[in-house]
Amino acid sequence: MWNAEIRKDTVTSVSRIRNFEKDSAILNIGTSVFEEPNVLIELNKETSVDGLYGFKKRANKIAFYVDEPDMLLELLK
């Protein structure tokens, strides 16, 4: 549903979310899978995130859902 190219040098942190609380500073792209987001990626500059029908948003904090978040975090170390 959403697509973004994120350069590794723009990533300041990637962390696991246990209890997501809505925050206007975070772009939550995990809502469409009927699950709460469980990963948060923080960037040092805004990135464009493209959605369906040409919809675009810009964010430097993006929350999303991953089936195996611990495995993703290990791969991104």
Place of tokens 């993703």: 72
What are the beta bridge partners of residue 43?
Answer: 11
| Residue ranges of domains in the chain | 8-75
Q: Could you read off the pLDDT of 1-33 as tens digits, one per residue?
A: 889 999 999 999 999 999 998 899 999 997 666
Position 53 scores a pLDDT of 94
How many Å separate Cα 31 from the centre of its chain?
11
> Average pLDDT, stretch 32-48?
89
